[in-house]
Amino acid sequence: MLLTEIICQLDTVEIGNRTVDYLQLEWFETTKRIIRKKTQAGIEVSLKFLQPTRALTEGDVLYTDDKLVIAVAVNACDCLVICPGSLFEMAAICYEIGNKHLPLFYQNNQLLVPADAPLQRLLTAQGYTVMQQKTKLLSPLNTTVKPHTDASNSLFNKIMKLTN
């Protein structure tokens, strides 16, 4: 089955008599534009997003008919959970994570990173509280700097203004 677009969110669909089948994805697969996988029920699907689109998120509906709804479910993974005590600490932690080119997620006032032992040792040695737990990485922090924008409005400058 070829799926080419995100239709809507699962909470906006009236399920009725239809069966909901989930396409289980790892956090790093949510940004891919071409994927071939099986749903929980064993239906083979091919995702092919030809147009630029946002990353897939938990609950995205990819297919629906009278009997079936196929939605995205993101698998939980081992993560580092860091709770900064201040905006200055948040900026310093984000700097260390960004310096290692690791993906960063922000959920429930916590910074989350896929489990990385060297980063955990570094942050712990610097005095930060770092916990390891299994959770879903759902809210990536997009820090990509877009070219030809006002540099005074960059994420880095906003953080620096908050810490002054």
Residue 58: the pLDDT is 92
Q: What is the pLDDT of residues 60-77, one digit of tens each?
A: 999 999 899 999 999 999
Residue 53: the pLDDT is 76
Taking the model in full, what pTM does it have? 0.74
Is pLDDT at 147 greater than 50 in this prediction? no
Residue 74: the pLDDT is 94
Lowest mean pLDDT among 5-14, 25-34, 147-156: 147-156
Could you give the angle at the alpha carbon of 147 between the alpha carbons of 142 and 151, nearest 5°?
85
Question: DSSP assignment, residue 15?
Answer: -
pLDDT-derived band of residue 136, with 50, 70 and 90 as boundaries? very high
Could you give the angle at the alpha carbon of 81 between the alpha carbons of 79 and 83, nearest 5°?
170
Ramachandran angles phi, psi of 130, nearest 5°: -125, 120
Q: What's the mean pLDDT when you consider all of the chain?
A: 86
Q: Which residues of 83-95 are buried (b: 16+ CB within 10 A; e: fewer)?
A: ebeeeebbbbbbe
Q: What is the pLDDT of residues 83-115, one digit of tens each?
A: 988 888 888 898 889 888 889 998 888 899 999
